[in-house]
Structure 1
């Protein structure tokens, strides 16, 4: 009734399941381009002054789609219950058709008549996949009107398309939380409306895409059945002034017979869709001729396209491109097909924005990792090489690191002239950007502590780093080897190191022997659990010897014994040529890890010059 009094079935407005379904659509008192388009179609096809897509709650109705409605309602996109005819469609769960509301006892007192000018009304239910009525698609006239059967049939068909759009929105939100629910929604939607299967498949496939070329390919492969275009084109805006086409050389028709890069003001279907921000449909050559210059018409005819549809791609900050479909013959898209294409364009836009975000994230994260890793110094008497392989293919960063710092003053009194060297290899827990950020803090602290204590011992440096981490509250934990190498008159190098829970270091002797030195203390980051201070260990590296430091990603794998893997790595280093250390590390990683990475891997190799010291 729209005014006071008891209304049979009014409790249905507050049905918990119905309200949950309303929320799942994600629509409310804000414009939705697809819903506005449906409302405009109703207004145009039924020649009605006003058309609305109304979602009804107990507190009123939201209007995500409208055409022809006056102010202030057009801006507010909502009305209170006192101004809603559509609530009767929800309460009765059936269509409502009124020729003259002033003479209808159910509606004669509604404020929609004087305030909105509603006199004649025709509304059909909008339902979710289970049949719950969420609102109404309605046509409104400001004068008394007898609605014809053809008009009501057309309104019913448009209502089915609008319901399909709502059902797809609900299913898409379900898919983000639970794939199993998406499959169930897909089965339910396929029974309610066959074309919704296409949209669900598109939602799932596009969610897995990694770049715009893959998005382009997915759309081409998905669109089939009765819609099946001969050509699918994807164009994206660039810099707010250009439109760049993403070509697919595998298509039987195309590419589009126009420049791949054009301006947004060009007389082209894609540019027009971007400018108008609405679906553009050209059903045959006559409509193409009316809209575009002769050279453009001729170009499309040359590749066998006689009808086109272009849907704008709506991103978070506006239109970011256009999706074009071309057919070899004339094509008169019905309203539901137009909704399908518009919805598919929405999915493509979301996928484009997501892939662009991921690419930016990968680029920034990779730059972050590169900034944190060290350019190896040149040290007389030594050759150094290092490699880093991340576990994550998304961020390409992790918590593993290496460092090498030349130190003057860290020498034995009997040492020959030359730089001493501090080297570190560590593994901060985690395989993501957060782990990389913590790693960067620890690495910087270790450098500072090393410079402040150039004479060591390494155990004191690591202890100082642990204390600094605790004071700052980094939460850093993991494993670490920190070593000091200093030159000896013999041409060899004395090495002193400390190991906090890290895999053993490997020394391949010039004689062909190999040593795995595994003495270590408790993990880095847990000094309160140690029963004794960190220990320092000593060895000497002779000319021709090779030292390998690494993180556990090289040797730790499921169902394999880590000691066996370390032994394999040691034998490989001993047997390998030391002429090209970078190639040695690449081959070692490929031999033990291959292409399947469960963890970050860092390798740092130090080779002692086999030449005798100068006399």
Structure 2
């Protein structure tokens, strides 16, 4: 019998299933015994596609049964068919522990070998992540199921955790939208927490390289809906002493924008080891978007680089993205990259994506940014002569030049402060900044 922190019920299932606060939280979602919805189906489908699992489920769990709000890979339409007793579900493992539950060979794992669901549901492998409400109650799970035994990679489990946070945030946002003005503000915070979940918690530490980034969400005062942006960035190793940095911006807001952002980031990481050409990688991302029939486009800047005795050498490609800037060690600022085609819109033959080489010497800094950094406007109600003023590319270049000799983190902080002063805390678009600076004494390689 499995052991759980809260003990077990008379039927051997976790006592946490019957916790009154948890059961009330599940009921408060309003999702039990409701029909399919596109947002939950989309997130479950994304989990199945990225992990390569045949089935994926968004499941709500009360004290007696599990209900599949979304079920991908099985043909179940009637509500009566989308639920079952908890004794025939793996979800109690997640609810009982409050943690992720992973099985790679269900028939051989002693926890599941004799479970009533293993054989009837043809479970070869199972991975589930808890869905949480704002107070930490486990509402159910986002899980993926393989027909055959398989190993779940760290990337699979990270994807599942990210998408589970997306499902949780969607549920929490719905509840918050029906509450008071204060609850609405909390919902906005949850939306931006989802955005943060799609960004790395911290940039990788790379010897001889300073790296810093910031994400500044839009803060329009008149906004009344819950918006999740699609800006994303990443810094990661590809192979050997080769590295990649990426900055992207998905058109639009909401769960679908965040969903596409997550797909783009994972696609880039997956393909980065198999091509040295940034332009070829962006073309693959475009193909993945069109295959998925994404209903929006994204812009992207991708650079692959490696260290040299004098600094770093790399190649950059732009898919409709603002042109990055290089601040040389002597304080001069220059653009790098050739403008390209936005991804996910035009047919393959019309794509224009070009690899542009660049070098960084000791003390040089590369700045990637989204268009929020070059389209900032003053807060409405300011002096009429300034109302249409836009903080443009030249303004950003001058602000970057003013950071001469500053390290990457201080440079990002300075640019963020300059933008904040320009729009007085009223940013009309999300803004992401990523700075990579070769250490002043060289890469030490």
The counterpart of 1:478, out of the listed 290, 295, 298, is 298
SS state at 2:180 partner: helix
**1:361 corresponds to 2:217:** no
Instruction: Report how far residue 513 of structure 1 moved.
Output: 1.5
Change (3 A) 1:496 1:351: closer
- Counterparts of 1:587 and 1:614 in 2: how far apart (Å)? 27
Alignment partner, residue 156 of structure 2: none
TM-score (norm 1): 0.38
The counterpart of 1:597, out of the listed 402, 410, 427, is 427
Instruction: Report how far residue 358 of structure 1 moved.
Output: 2.4
Instruction: Report how far residue 457 of structure 1 moved.
Output: 0.6
SS state at 1:481 partner: strand
**1:502 corresponds to 2:343:** no
Can you give the 5+ residue segments of structure 1 that lack an aligned partner in the other structure?
1-238, 240-349, 410-418
Alignment partner, residue 281 of structure 2: 461
**8 Å contact 2:286–2:343 — kept in the other structure?**
yes
Instruction: Report how far residue 474 of structure 1 moved.
Output: 2.5
SS state at 2:412 partner: helix
Structure 1 residues 3-402: aligned runs within 5 Å = 353-355=179-181, 357-359=183-185, 361-374=187-200, 375-391=202-218, 395=226, 397-402=228-233
Instruction: Report how far residue 355 of structure 1 moved.
Output: 3.6
Q: Which has the larger radius of gyration?
A: 1
Equivalenced residues, count: 254
- Counterparts of 1:612 and 1:354 in 2: how far apart (Å)? 55
Alignment partner, residue 343 of structure 2: 524
Instruction: Report how far residue 516 of structure 1 moved.
Output: 1.8
- Counterparts of 1:532 and 1:388 in 2: how far apart (Å)? 29
Change (3 A) 1:352 1:542: same
- Counterparts of 1:357 and 1:388 in 2: how far apart (Å)? 23
Instruction: Report how far residue 359 of structure 1 moved.
Output: 4.7
Instruction: Report how far residue 473 of structure 1 moved.
Output: 2.2
Instruction: Report how far residue 421 of structure 1 moved.
Output: 1.5
- Counterparts of 1:545 and 1:366 in 2: how far apart (Å)? 32
**1:426 corresponds to 2:248:** yes
- Counterparts of 2:351 and 2:185 in 1: how far apart (Å)? 48
Change (3 A) 1:425 1:561: farther
Change (3 A) 1:551 1:379: same
Change (3 A) 1:408 1:361: same
Can you give the 5+ residue segments of structure 2 that lack an aligned partner in the other structure?
1-134, 136-175, 378-386
The higher relative CO (CA closer than 8 Å, separation ≥ 6) is in: 2
SS state at 2:245 partner: strand
Q: Deviations over 1:567-591 (max 9, x none)?
A: 2211221221554533422321232
- Counterparts of 1:457 and 1:578 in 2: how far apart (Å)? 31
**8 Å contact 1:427–1:478 — kept in the other structure?**
yes
- Counterparts of 1:613 and 1:603 in 2: how far apart (Å)? 22
The counterpart of 1:609, out of the listed 433, 439, 445, is 439
The counterpart of 2:409, out of the listed 582, 588, 603, is 582
- Counterparts of 1:551 and 1:571 in 2: how far apart (Å)? 17
- Counterparts of 1:441 and 1:378 in 2: how far apart (Å)? 24
More helix by share: 1
TM-score (norm 2): 0.52
Instruction: Report how far residue 551 of structure 1 moved.
Output: 0.5
- Counterparts of 1:361 and 1:577 in 2: how far apart (Å)? 40
